[in-house]
Each structure stands twice: as C-alpha cells, then as structure tokens.
Chains A and B, each alone.
Chain A
Amino acid sequence: MKKSSAQGSEDPVLQWVTFRLDNESYGINVMQVQEVLRYTEIAPVPGAPSYVLGIINLRGNVVTVIDTRQRFGLMPTEVTDNTRIVIIEADKQVVGIMVDSVAEVVYLRQSEIETAPNVGNEESAKFIQGVCNKNGELLILVELDKMMSEEEWYELENI
C-alpha cells in the first residue's frame, strides 16, 4: 500500500477534457475548464484580432471566444450540432474556445504523457504539452496558457 501511494504521489493522475478538431483528439486540463456550452451565436467584435471569433453573453458576463482552428493552423469548418464552446480559464482570464465536439474526461498518469517533438519553430508548436495514447487513439495535450503569447493575452483582456 505504501508503495502504491508513494508511486501515486510521484506519478500523479490528471484529468483531461478531450475534444476533437479536424478528426484529431486534443486534451486540456480539466482544472482549467469551467463549463461546456452548445454553440450559440457569437457577436463579432470589430477590429478584434483574427483569432477572435467574437463575444458571447454568459449569464451577464461577456466572454471572448477564440477560433481554435485558426489558432491551431487548421482550415475553418462549418458549425454543426456537435460544435461546442469550452469555457476555460487560462492566464487568469476566462475565455471560450470553439471546438468541433467535446468527447469525455479521461484520466492520464503523468508517466503516460510523452513529450512532443521539439522541432517546430512555429508559435503554435509551443502549446503542445505532449501526446498520449488513450483508448486506442492518440491524444494531443494542449497547454492552454501557452496558446497565446503574453501580448495576445493582454490584447484579449482589452477587447
């Protein structure tokens, strides 16, 4: 018992919310997810950066929605019944990220997570935290805080 608990503390289990984008599965730390919303009309904000889809009214609070596909360098697609807006907290801000669908919450041991290849020079390569095989598919784990640069988070805050 002692051995297993010690192993547990050395190898923590984290929960990840998985979502899909362009037929690939991505995971984000559940502690950063506040809620998941069905797609709702997003009001565009004139002059906003290209990665911002617009804003929504979430129970009286204005939440900026990020175009996740654009951020990940993927082609845009149409909104479907499965489209979701995941409300996350990252860099002390609450923002929404639009995804193709949200699947489930998975438990991953830290040791199961493999590092991503350290070869990309693109900004977007920096927010891949790692990859992991789960339930027969490869999950790409995203580090939400690094999804934007400091300047971009600041820009978002002032929309």
Chain B
Amino acid sequence: MNLDSLMLMRDELVLTVIILLLLVAEILLSSKNKKYIIQLGLVLFGIYTFLAFLPNKTGELFGGSYNTYPLVHYFKAILAFGVFMILLQSVTWIKEKLLPYDFTAEFFILIFSSLIGLNFMMSAGDFLMFYLGLELSTMPIIALTAFEFWNHRSVEAGVKYVMLASISSAILLFGVSLVYATAGSINFDVIKGALHLPLLEIIGLIMIFIGIGFKISLVPFHFWAADVYEGAPTVISNYLSVISKGGAVYVLMTLLFITFTAFQKEWNWIMYGTAILTMVVGNLFALRQQNMKRFLAFSSIAQAGFILLAMLSNNELGVKAIIYFLLIYIFSNVAAFGVVHVISLKTGKENIDDYNGLYLSNPKLSLVLMIALFSLAGIPPVAGFFAKFFLYAAAASKGYYVLIFIAVLNVTISLYYYLLPVRAAFLRRSEHPIPYFRSDNYSRLAFIIAMAGLLALGLYSGVFEFISNISNIF
C-alpha cells in the first residue's frame, strides 16, 4: 500500500481532514469569532463536494474491505451535494439556535462523521466495514436528532431513535452472524461464491435486509420515522429522509444485486410484499397529516416503497432507475423540507392550514413548494415524473405489471395529498396568513439549485445518460 492507493479513499480522507480542521478551529477561535466556523464549515465542505465530483480510480483497499468504482464514487458525490444544500439551508438555524450554546462546530463535525459513515458503508467489501459504516452514520445523527436539547420533542425523538436503531442493529448483527456461520466468511465476494441457501442463511439474509430496511423506513419498520422527523430539527429530518435513506438504499441495492443474487427468488417476493405495504401504509397515513413534517415523513415512507419496485428488477436498468430516482428525490425533498424549515424558523408554524394564502404573501416560496411537491407526486414535466417512470420501467422489465398497477394507483392517491399544501398555499385565503419575509441568501441559493435541478434534469437527458454509463456494476 502506498499513498497512491490510499487516494482511492480520497472522499473519506478529505472529510476526516475537514473534521480535524474544524476541531482545531473550535479550539483556537475565541468565543467572539465562533460564528466564522459556519463559513469555514461551508467553504470546506464546498471544496469537498467539488472534489467528490472529480473522477477517481477503481480499486480496493485493506484486502477487499474497502472498494471503489465509478458508480459508488459519483453516488457519494451526489450525497455530498445533497448535504451541501442542507447545510446551506441550516445556516440561519445554526446562527439562531446553536451559536448561543456554542454548538456550531459540533453540528458540522457530527454531520460530516455521519457522511463518512455512509461513504464507508457504501464502499464496504465485507460485513465488518459495512457494520462500522452503518453505526458511524447512525450515531452522530442520533446526537443531532436530540440537538435542540431545550425542546423536549427533539430529545424524545433522539431517545426513540437510539432505542429503535439499536434494536435494528442487533437484528442486523444477528443476521450477519448467521450468514457468517453458514458461508464461513464476512467478505462479500467469498460469501457470494459460498451461498447455498440453507434456511439458516436465508433467515440471516432477511435479518440483514430488515436492518437496512429500518434505515430506509420500510413498513413495518417505519414506526420511528414520523415521530423522529417531527421531533428532530428540520435540517436533520431532511438529512434523515434523503441522505441517510439514500445511502441505505444504495447498500441494499448492491447487496441484493451483486452479493446475494443467488437469493433472488426469495427476496423478490419479500420485496414485492414490502413494496406494496410501504406504499399503501405510507400513503394512507400521509392522507390525514396536518403537520408538514409528519406529512413529509409519511410521504418519504411511501417514496421508499416505490424504490423497491426497481429493486425487483435485478438488472442494469434497475440500477439506473434507483440512482436517478435518488438524485431527483434529493432535490425534491431538500426543497420541500427547506420550505417547511424556513417557514417554521420564521414563524414557528408547521401545519398545512397555516399555509393558507401563502401564495399572496410569499409567492416565490409557494412556487418552490409547489414544484417540489409536484416532483414528489411525479407530475411531468418536473423531474420527479421521469424518476418514477424509470422505476416503473425497471419493474416492467421483469414483467411485474400488477405491482406497477398498484404503484400507479398509489401515485394517484398520493396526488391527492400532495395537492393539499399546494391548494392551501394557492387556492385558499386566510385571515392571518404567514407574513411576507425574505429568506436568507444561503437558503435561497439552495432553493435555486434545487429548482434548477428539478426543472432541468427532467428535460436534459445528459445526467441520466451519465448514470447509465456507470451503472454496469454486475
């Protein structure tokens, strides 16, 4: 091993350096100058995001524990980009809520640690690295969930999350041990060759699937999602619903498509059932939510169900569809959560009814909300439509028409509730609408990026083509 091969894990190394720099800054800066940590964190992370998009070599490290190839590399970049948008949105929140308690550096350090964890998890070549990454990505987020310690809901959410996450980790570890017992290795490549699928092994695999399913908030392992999203600071809900979910989906995809392909017959119908359950339950609960954060939580549960459609395909089209969907999903959800975040921060209002007449007082913000929700609902020509369409296409490639039918039925139902906030903002009047305010420039930048992404990515096919070119991971 030399420096050259160490550069394979450039992403993780750069992030680690950034964390160290922030630590040093935290120690060196006087309390008066602590506010510059925000700018420092943003700039450093901006540099990281830029670096992440530069091409990297394919290869493996540590005897196959860690490996990297174009798809995972660029997916890390996509996640970094998503985190960057979330950070932009959180500037005001940090200034108002965290700076007085001197928590600024901690916020950045925790969120970056979690991202390192996700990166390791996605690059993992064996269960050890995978598990370490998973835990590293979860633990900081638990702390962040409970970060508003003066707000009891936030603390409550943190406690719920830590408890349920540890149960899911326990189940996952149990599953790993069962697989190890039958296959005799924790290395993915070795396991792939050694799969003979005795019942014990299948049970092990299911438990691993459930452990990841928890992070993706699949039904019936979704119970934590609504409470945690509602209680956690909005930026953290945002992170949980797009970044951490995105990383987990990626891992599930590579495990199912590559390592456990032999397991396909069994997992197909588990996926089938879980997909239906997740879509239906997510939708039905979303229908009657009044709180926007809860509403988005259930919407993101339902969206996870749609991703499973492509998980059934086990082919290149499925990979493309999933990656593209996640990319668009990051844009849509970051924008939607962002609107909720700025409004909640300015006025403390989080209910759909509070949005009545929003269009008259804050037209631009309402427009952002509408486009983001249309994208989530999959209405063309917003990019969300294309993303959904590719998912259907992936399922269709294996002939799952009944499942597609159910999915499309669910999309129609979801249209109903995605229209509720839009209707409130555009078509309703209110005695006391949310007054006009100007959101800070950082959030504005994030909104502009997200809107540009949603409107352009649908029509400009270059991004999809690029994903297609790197999607051959079989």
A, B: real partners: no
